[in-house]
A and B are shown apart, each in its own frame.
Chain A
């Protein structure tokens, strides 16, 4: 298998142009899927017999929760690639992911809290999922904080990349221990997500928004990546040429 496509990805000008070309291919389908899915879920789907209308928040909560972890994985993997192969572009991808992931995590926490209030009366439950989301937020904040602490981009890249990889390895451990802790005290689980008995009218919109939000993340990442590359390569000659053209 030829690895030239991988090597090409290491070149900032190539990635800069590629990101511009790919963005619409992700942005438009994302918009369609999200809007369609939300319409189907919020309007068309019948109310849940247990939770009534309140369950509909799942159409926003589930994607944000799913993305908060997906983005972390993408961040960790690209950070690892940047660390091992010393690819600046990989570090730029990781840097672009972090604020997106942190925002999705906050959104997941907020929607999770909002879901809890009408259903179980409290804005916060020490539920393993919510607690894991909260810890994930701190992992993101730690990454962003470490990045911000170094003026030298290269140092910031490499130190935060190591942190991201370490965090990635730790996420399963932390999640498992939180679940273990929660099981000791038999607290009720707030979120019941992805029950296989969900009828198609509820499940299809869910899948649509999940996919739609994922594509949205990719589009957002591509846009941020372009900005990140611009900033890092500001004194490079290829950029001056491209801007002049």
Chain B
């Protein structure tokens, strides 16, 4: 057996122009890692801008279906507007889940995240945040506009915006978990919906109620608080579970 040849080498090794000092052998701080993860996803998304529009277009399309299917009377539409907006938002965010983990799982980026020596939970939280900035947030901003088309008064719009923002955060996190569970599965669209929707029902219930109260001009703080509580719970637990799911998929 070779004796440990470690003491045998001596003197500096001529490593050309790669001035990585031993200090950089320390890990990057977590915040930098998260910032880079978000930055990468945002950069990638903006290089494929057309993909970003799809969930939004789907949202508007679904909202459009209801007047055509039911009645053009604004008064009648206003009475169902809260439900329509939230169902459309739920379905649109389902659609948007496609490009959260799929590419990263295929090209080995997710694997490198798992091996990066950083907290995978934290990195996945960063990814989900980037995803929400690209899908949930635009959706929330589109919702008041769609609401106007359903006969909702302008006074209700801030309430709709706020409830949508809070709700879509939870939806993104739940979606991330479901998406992580189905990694590597082909044709997982229907299963993804089957997994995500039951878990998203509380968001739907509280969000639609908050929106409904806002439309009627009443105070909507109570359901909004419940919605926020769900978001806090999701932020704390969903990335953890998603990281476990990703590790399972890498086994």
Contacts and interface: CB of A to CB of B under 8 A. Distances in A.
A41 B60 CA distance: 55
Given A142-B194, A155-B251, A159-B245, A149 B199 contact: no
A86 to B, nearest CB: 11
B198 A159 contact: no
Contact of B195 (A146, A155, A174, A181): A146
10 contacts: A149-B185, A155-B248, A158-B251, A159-B181, A162-B241, A163-B181, A178-B201, A180-B226, A181-B205, A181-B209
A139 interface: yes
B245 A149 contact: no
Interface string B172-213: 000001000110110010010011011101100110010000
B198 A142 contact: yes
Interface in A172-203: 173-174, 176-178, 180-181, 184
Interface in B233-251: 233, 237, 241, 244-245, 248-249, 251
Contact of A174 (B181, B201, B233, B241): B201
Interface of B: 177, 181-182, 184-185, 188, 191, 194-195, 197-199, 201-202, 205-206, 209, 226, 230, 233, 237, 241, 244-245, 248-249, 251
B249 to A, nearest CB: 7
A159 B202 contact: no
Interface of A: 135, 138-139, 141-142, 145-146, 149-150, 154-155, 158-159, 162-163, 166-167, 169-170, 173-174, 176-178, 180-181, 184
What DSSP secondary structure best describes chain B's contact surface? helix
B182 A146 contact: yes
B248 A150 contact: no
B177 A155 contact: no
B195 A163 contact: yes
A231 B162 CA distance: 52
Contacts of B201: 135, 174, 177-178
A135 B200 CA distance: 11
Contacts of A139: 198
B219 to A, nearest CB: 14
B248 A159 contact: yes
A225 B181 CA distance: 25
A142 B198 CA distance: 9
Nearest to A175: B202
B194 A145 contact: yes
Nearest to B233: A173
Given A138-B197, A184-B209, 10 more contacts: A142-B194, A146-B195, A155-B248, A155-B249, A159-B249, A162-B241, A163-B181, A163-B195, A173-B230, A178-B205
B110 to A, nearest CB: 15
B245 A162 contact: yes
A211 to B, nearest CB: 30
A9 B206 CA distance: 44
Given A158-B251, A159-B181, A145 B206 contact: no
Nearest to B237: A169
The 10 closest A-B pairs by CB, nearest first: A177-B202, A158-B248, A181-B205, A149-B185, A138-B198, A142-B195, A177-B205, A142-B194, A145-B191, A159-B181
A97 B97 CA distance: 30
A195 to B, nearest CB: 28
Contact of B181 (A154, A162, A181, A184): A162
Contacts of A158: 248, 251
Given A155-B248, A158-B248, A162-B241, A174 B198 contact: yes
B194 A149 contact: no
Contacts of B237: 169
A149 B188 contact: yes
Nearest to B187: A149
B177 A166 contact: yes
